[in-house]
Amino acid sequence: MPQPPPEFSGRETIVDTACPLDCPDSCSLAITVRNGKILKIDGSRRNATTGGYICAKVRRFDQRVYGDGRLQYPAVRKGPRGSGRFSRITWDEAIELVTSKMIDIRDRWGAEAIVPYSYGGSNGLLSQDTTDAQLFRRFGASRLARTVCAAPTGAANMALYGKMPSVSYEDYPHAKLIVMWGANPSASGIHLIPYLREAQRRGGQLVVVDPRTTPLARQANLHLALKPGTDVVVALAVHRYLFETGCADEAFLAAHTRGASRLRERAQSWTLARAAEIAGIDQVALERFAELYAASSPALVRCGWGL
């Protein structure tokens, strides 16, 4: 007779899996299970990047899995909106109801009258532009640009760099200069922190550009606590410095970019002194940042989604 899987056998066992949340760390998880029920969630030590630790949100993910407010079956509203009156139906009934409504709306008003409203969720096969996107795209439904933070940032990154991903975590320790501009991995990418520390241990310089004194800012070799909204003028001043000192690789820019001459023209009026005054930071500190960036190779800049 076949034996049941270990997680359903009555004894504790460790199940290896991956974190489903929308986070660049993509942590490997080691979940302690007994009789199919989660007892403990921890980071896997089999993955060097995860390193055996995970964020507090995922460590308590079982509270979401078994929470009283989690939907476990389909239900249809019985009564006015906001009344909280629902009646449970079967999955077959739910699929038939949704299908008939979609076809009816398409036939009466056109498929674009349907807006699939969702976001990342657990990043499974039914969310965040995967199987759901194929369904609604083929049906002809409208599409969402998701949030006002993610959509513009994604478009800007694609236009500037041609892709979203940056270098891998393993590359960070090889950088002579790392600039964390508007990014706070102490809260939103905790597994990058050991690589940043290793880079500093090897002699690399860490610069944090952030109005807040974050934990990472306290560890940085240089922290530029500029006023919110002044990032552009600081960046333009650094660009001007690179062009004026001959540190910009103009041959590379001519071969691989468009608009470098317009960028230089736009930056011309922004001296380091003027930008420092507008941003509310020390001019000497900004000069040091510009000099570090000009002299350090390889250098790495990581921007946060909020920029």
More confident site: 124 or 33 = 33
Domain end: 29, 45, 65, which one?
65
Look at residue 189 in the predicted model and tell me its pLDDT: 87
Look at residue 288 in the predicted model and tell me its pLDDT: 98
Q: For residues 210 and 175, state if they share a domain.
A: yes
Look at residue 121 in the predicted model and tell me its pLDDT: 62
Q: For residues 102 and 160, state if they share a domain.
A: no
Q: For residues 167 and 288, state if they share a domain.
A: yes
Look at residue 25 in the predicted model and tell me its pLDDT: 83
Q: Write out pLDDT tens, residues 246-295.
A: 999 999 999 988 899 999 999 999 999 999 999 999 999 999 999 999 99
Whether residue 8 has pLDDT greater than 80: no
Q: Which of 150-154, 198-202, 222-226 has the lowest mean pLDDT?
A: 150-154
According to DSSP, the residues that pair with 77 across neighbouring strands are: 86
Q: For residues 126 and 193, state if they share a domain.
A: no
Whether residue 3 has pLDDT greater than 70: no
Query: Within 13 A of 196's CA, how many CA atoms are on the CB side?
Result: 25
Whether 3 is in a domain gets the answer no
14-19 average pLDDT score? 92
pLDDT band at 118, cuts 50/70/90?
Answer: confident
Look at residue 161 in the predicted model and tell me its pLDDT: 76
Whether residue 125 has pLDDT greater than 80: no
Q: For residues 25 and 97, state if they share a domain.
A: no
Q: For residues 299 and 168, state if they share a domain.
A: yes
89-117 average pLDDT score? 96
Question: For the chain, what is the mean pLDDT?
Answer: 90
pLDDT band at 127, cuts 50/70/90?
Answer: low
CA distance 288 to 222: 9
pLDDT band at 120, cuts 50/70/90?
Answer: low
CA distance 126 to 119: 10
Q: For residues 140 and 159, state if they share a domain.
A: no
- From 237, 250, 252, select the one nearest 293 (Cα to Cα): 237
Q: For residues 59 and 81, state if they share a domain.
A: no
- What is the 3 state secondary structure string of the chain? CCCCCHHHCCCCEEEEEECCCCCCCCCEEEEEEECCEEEEEEECCCCCCCCCCCCHHHHCHHHHHCCCCCCCCCEEECCCCCCCCEEECCHHHHHHHHHHHHHHHHHHHCHHHCCCCCCCCCCCCCCCCCHHHHHHHHHCCCCCCCCCCHHHHHHHHHHHHCCCCCCCHHHHHHCCEEEEECCCHHHHCHHHHHHHHHHHHCCCEEEEECCCCCHHHHHCCEEECCCCCCHHHHHHHHHHHHHHCCCCCHHHHHHHCCCHHHHHHHHCCCCHHHHHHHHCCCHHHHHHHHHHHHHCCCEEEEECCCC
Whether 4 is in a domain gets the answer no
Residue 171: which domain range?
155-303
Q: For residues 177 and 274, state if they share a domain.
A: yes
Q: For residues 164 and 275, state if they share a domain.
A: yes
Is the bond preceding 215 in cis, omega lying within 30 degrees of 0?
A: no
According to DSSP, the residues that pair with 122 across neighbouring strands are: none
More confident site: 146 or 43 = 43
Whether residue 149 has pLDDT greater than 90: no
Whether residue 200 has pLDDT greater than 60: yes
Q: Write out pLDDT tens, residues 37-87.
A: 999 999 999 999 999 999 998 999 999 889 988 888 999 999 999 998 999
**Total number of domains in the chain:** 4
Domain end: 118, 144, 170, which one?
144
pLDDT band at 158, cuts 50/70/90?
Answer: confident
Look at residue 2 in the predicted model and tell me its pLDDT: 56
Q: Is residue 188 exposed (0-12), middle (13-18) or buried (19+ Cβ within 10 Å)?
A: middle
Whether 150 is in a domain gets the answer no
